[in-house]
A and B are shown apart, each in its own frame.
Chain A
Amino acid sequence: MALLITLGATAGFLVLLTFAVRARTEFFKNLDRRWIFLLMLVAVAVPVYVIGKTKETFPEKALPKAQAVFDVIEELNEGDKVLLAFDFDPGSEGELGPMATTFAYHCATKKLKMYFIALWPIGRQMIDDNIAKIIEPDFPEMVYGVDYMNLGFKAGNEGVINVIVTDIKQLYTTDAYGTDIAAIPMMEGIDSIQKMDLIINVSAGYPGTKEWVQYAVTPFPHDIRMVAGCTGVQAPLLYPYIPQQLPGLLAAIKGASEYESLVINKYGGDDISGKYLEAQRRMGPQLVAHVLMVLLIFAGNIIFFVERKREARS
């Protein structure tokens, strides 16, 4: 039914558009791109406003890759060690922030020991934000240095992975706040990241998931297990690593939304704070924007065909 209505509406729109293009071919042919920008603005702003007001989200169904991420984390037991590598920045926060939030929430709920790390200079800030937003207010029983810690940023990109995969203390003598590693209880016995039960990487580009796979998982396939979340443009690049090096992957806000729905359905309860529903909420603007893109592509083709017909005639 929904399909029929959509097809009908699209057909109607196409007919209308064809008439409009015929009537004002020149305008459409040289369409100022700012009109498109304006349409996109409306397509994103309206759902943001409506969802903000009504707090309603679209239903989400988890696809295998997100389900696999969820399953891998679910398999861990209380006290297992997880390295959360946050390799993103404010620019990609819109796309990756919600999954980072859900990862931290999921790990904290399962009482896993969390080791945060960043290969991007600003990743450190993203970690601090995450701790301030999730762990401190909602898991006050968690103690820094015992249940979670921040290794912070180290320059050197994949070189850092290359070193810490066999010897963490060569690069990290203190945590992000200058505390001696030896004084941090949860660092006891951790001589390399092979001691982690899982690596979770949130990646916006280079260095990111690809480097973690190449320099950590590939050389130590039996010791290091990893799941990741990444931006939409990066995702196709990582598919070849699934499932062997990378059992699961969250691709962009869609993947985040699927994973978030799994986590929140299992652990969230009814009165869950809005900050844990961000990914699902962001699917609204994404839907409208994608529909607009489809319509724009239709429109572009109508202009193309009307013009071609005219040229053929003349």
Chain B
Amino acid sequence: MRLYQITTLMAALVIHVSPSSVQAQAPAPPTNLEVTDHPWDGGKQIDLSWDLSPDDAELLRYEIYKAVAQTGPIPQKPPKFEQVDSVPAGTTSFTVDGVPFQVEMMVRDLEPHRTLFTDPPLPENQKKRLKLKVGYVFQVVAIARNGSRSTALATTAPFTPTMQWFEGSRFYFSFMTLIICGAVVFWIYRAKKGRPIKVRKIAGLEAVDEAVGRATEMGRSVLFIPGIQDINEIQTIAGLTILARVAKTAAAYGAKVEVPTSKSLVMTTARETVQAAFLEAGRPDAYNKDLIYYVTDEQFGYVAYLQGMMVREKPATCFYMGAFFAESLILAETGNSIGAIQIAGTAMPAQLPFFVAACDYTLIGEEFFAASAYLSGEPEQLGSLKGQDVGKVVVAILLLVGVLMATLGVIFDNQALLKAVAYLKETILT
């Protein structure tokens, strides 16, 4: 049965390619097509290799086709071959659904984006991804410079890609993750052992106590806004760790902290945080959970509520700590108009200018993430900052090396350097 199937398949292939492709001066096809599973992948890539056509010098390119193999006992129709890609003459291998390492591609990437599309897009380009547990057959056709096509060199049996236990294309990524995370863990461990760590002063965080103190003196409340995203956003969590400190100070001073949230899960978490802070400050009785409440998920509904509340109740201090979008400036300007001290912290680069313009202090990006460690003063938390610096050194070295190589490569037109840059970009950093 199996033999029958393959023979039928071969017959089908011949029928499929013969009418249009065999022409007067058709080049000889490539030979010896081998199919192997791509190592270290999620089971969606297959490697092809072949020996060059004897007419390779006359060729323009090789075209690669794939088709899903027929699995039924009796094939109903010939397999439908789709072009996967094409490679220049002289190439002897191709990874279906992988990028062959080609200098041309890399040089193209270094040029402005327009050139990316000057090549005619391949038909059915989007369909080349393979599926797990599906058998495939392949064809390679040689195309001569005059446009004539060779007969197709086809695989003899269906080939099914297999899944490995590790995604090899992410090997470098995992390596870098390990270095950076390892550095963080290492320094946390070092700090635990009692090695002192020096952290530069962050003005915005130094001002937290003063800002809460001012609200207490004025007999007004402290408004804390933990951004407009849910608890799965790391910025919201970073904001809540700052809330823990703000609430603790407020509890000690006897000030009122109000936390309107735009997500109910954030409300629940903020309640836990504030309650713990009040407990730690020795004032569990002063905790009022009704001051931490949900407003609405709707971005501008939330903003409208906050604006109204700020204008009516005139909090003396406003904290904006979390992920913010268009509302950043609306909130900060309203706060400014009521004369509140304002401290903002966010990792949204687009909103930073607005906060910087309208607030007294702004924690920019990583300062915001460092806040929890900085405020807690716990050595193990501070250790994580040191670990982060190791990450920065790695990034800086990679940047310098990459920029230097790319620049020199372009200036001296050195293919080896450009190849290395492409390897850095395409393989190591993806």
Contact = CB atoms under 8 A, between A and B. Distances in A.
Interface of A: 33, 64, 67-68, 71-72, 75, 89, 91-92, 194-197, 204-206, 218, 220-225, 231, 233-234, 236-237, 242-244, 247-248
A195 B127 contact: yes
B293 to A, nearest CB: 22
Nearest to A65: B113
A89 B326 CA distance: 12
Nearest to B299: A91
Interface in B206-253: 229
Contacts of B186: none
B18 interface: no
Given A205-B326, A236-B349, A237-B350, A222 B114 contact: no
A68 B112 CA distance: 11
B31 interface: no
A231 B229 contact: no
Interface in B107-166: 109, 112-114, 116-117, 121, 126-129
The winner among B116, B117, B300, B323 for most chain A CB atoms within 10 A is: B117
A224 B350 CA distance: 26
Contacts of B430: 218, 221
A8 B430 CA distance: 52
A91 B301 CA distance: 10
A205 B300 CA distance: 13
Instruction: Describe B's contact surface by its main secondary structure.
Output: loop
A222 B325 contact: no
Contact of A233 (B116, B121, B229, B350): B350
Given A206-B323, A231-B326, A243 B299 contact: no
Contact of A222 (B99, B117, B299, B323): B99
The 8 lowest CB-CB distance pairs between A and B, nearest first, are A243-B113, A205-B325, A233-B350, A91-B300, A237-B350, A223-B129, A247-B113, A197-B126
B113 A75 contact: no
B113 A64 contact: yes
B351 interface: yes
A64 B112 CA distance: 10
Given A75-B121, A244-B109, A220 B350 contact: no
B300 A71 contact: no
B337 interface: yes
A221 B430 CA distance: 10
Interface of B: 97, 99, 109, 112-114, 116-117, 121, 126-129, 229, 299-300, 323, 325-326, 337, 348-351, 430
A168 to B, nearest CB: 14
A234 B113 contact: no
Contacts of B323: 206
B114 A233 contact: no
Contacts of A243: 112-113, 116
A93 to B, nearest CB: 12
B117 A72 contact: yes
Nearest to A198: B126
Contacts of B326: 91-92, 204-205, 231, 233
A223 B300 CA distance: 36
Contact of B337 (A33, A197, A234, A248): A33
Given A92-B326, A233-B326, A243-B116, A223 B128 contact: yes
Given A195-B126, A233-B326, A237-B349, 18 more contacts: A64-B113, A68-B114, A68-B117, A72-B117, A89-B299, A92-B326, A195-B127, A205-B325, A205-B326, A220-B129, A222-B97, A222-B129, A233-B351, A236-B349, A242-B113, A244-B109, A247-B113, A247-B116
Contact of B113 (A68, A196, A224, A236): A68
The winner among A64, A92, A243, A247 for most chain B CB atoms within 10 A is: A243
A300 B351 CA distance: 22
A223 B126 contact: yes
A68 B351 CA distance: 27
Contacts of B299: 89, 91, 205
Given A92-B326, A237-B349, A237-B350, A75 B117 contact: yes
Contacts of A197: 126
Contacts of A91: 299-300, 326
A187 to B, nearest CB: 16
Contacts of B127: 195
Nearest to B109: A244
Nearest to A67: B114
A217 B129 CA distance: 14
25 contacts: A64-B112, A64-B114, A68-B113, A72-B117, A92-B326, A204-B326, A205-B325, A205-B326, A218-B430, A222-B99, A222-B128, A222-B129, A233-B350, A233-B351, A234-B350, A236-B349, A236-B350, A237-B348, A237-B349, A237-B350, A242-B113, A243-B112, A247-B113, A247-B117, A248-B113
A89 B97 CA distance: 37
Nearest to B297: A121
Contact of A206 (B109, B112, B113, B325): B325
A279 B164 CA distance: 50
Contacts of A242: 113
Nearest to B97: A222
A225 B128 CA distance: 13
Nearest to A233: B350
A224 B129 CA distance: 10
A103 B244 CA distance: 46
Contacts of A221: 430
Contacts of B109: 244
B126 A71 contact: no
Contact of B129 (A64, A72, A194, A233): A194
Contacts of A237: 348-350
B114 A71 contact: yes
A75 B120 CA distance: 9
A236 B116 CA distance: 22
B171 to A, nearest CB: 15
A189 to B, nearest CB: 9
B126 A196 contact: yes
A77 to B, nearest CB: 9
A75 B113 CA distance: 14
A197 B430 CA distance: 22
A154 B326 CA distance: 23
Contacts of A248: 113
A75 B299 CA distance: 37
Contacts of A92: 326
A223 B130 CA distance: 11
